[in-house]
Amino acid sequence: MNRPGLLDCMKTVIARDVRIALRRRADVMTSLIFFVIVVSLFPLGIGADPVLLRTLGPGVVWVAALLACMLALGRLFANDHADGTLEQLILSPQPLSLLVLAKTIAHWLTTGLPLVVIAPLLGLQFNLDADALLVLIASLLLGTPTLSLIGAIGAALTLGLRGGGALLALLILPLYIPVLIFGAGAVEATAAALGATAHLSILGALLLCTLVFAPWATALALKIATE
């Protein structure tokens, strides 16, 4: 029997994690509902001034998306660590960094992608026009995978630690700042008719950098955490 190839292993890991997430729909819905509630509270709190809403909207949506992604990071490796699956992944003949990348992709599919889908509806609350909503979608498509990749490093570093949730936030929130700045900045620039190409290009560059370095760093952190 032929040994499964690397791509087959990655597809298996992605499919497994997505199936597990769909069986635990409450965990998936928690992040999505949190995102909706946080974004929806701001128009109620700051009033109905369309200019003010349009100004604050991109930042509000992006901060809520950032926090919602971070909320789901705790379960990225914790369950696998508890049932011994993580040790099997580490002992696998396949590169651990690529298996970690597969798990991160599954995390984004179940956490980041739903936020991208629902974000335009929430953006309407802030009086964003069609162009700004399209750029919001594009910025989230580029930015939320970066959040998942960076968050995976923090989740691996805090794996098994008491009070790991608070430490995780302290570790990764500073690293999220560039993504937040350029993600919200892309939408703001579009709303001001300045163009968002530069912001989106930087978000793409950040995504490429994290795709190269984050899985390797996460794999190293996981090996240290399980020793």
Burial of 30 (0-12, 13-18, 19+ CB in 10 A): middle
Residue in 149, 73, 77 with CA at minimum distance from that of residue 111? 73
Section 96-107 average pLDDT:
92
* Residue 57 pLDDT exceeds 70: yes
pLDDT of 199: 94
Q: Which has more confidence, 29 or 165?
A: 29
On whether the CB atoms of residues 125 and 40 are closer than 8 A, the answer is yes
Compute the distance between CA of residue 82 and CA of residue 174 in angstroms, rounded to an integer: 28
DSSP codes, 123-168: HGGGT--HHHHHHHHHHHHHHHHHHHHHHHHHHHHTTT-TTHHHHH
* Residue 113 pLDDT exceeds 50: yes
pLDDT of 1: 41
pLDDT of 24: 81
* Residue 105 pLDDT exceeds 50: yes
Section 91-116 average pLDDT:
91
pLDDT of 127: 85
For the chain, give the mean pLDDT. Answer: 88
pLDDT of 3: 54
* Residue 163 pLDDT exceeds 70: no
Section 151-173 average pLDDT:
83
Section 177-201 average pLDDT:
91
pLDDT of 25: 81
Question: Which band of pLDDT confidence, cut at 50, 70 and 90, is reported for residue 101?
Answer: very high
Q: Which has more confidence, 163 or 178?
A: 178
Predicted TM-score (pTM) of the model is 0.90
Q: Which has more confidence, 79 or 217?
A: 217
Q: Where are the domains of the chain?
A: 6-225
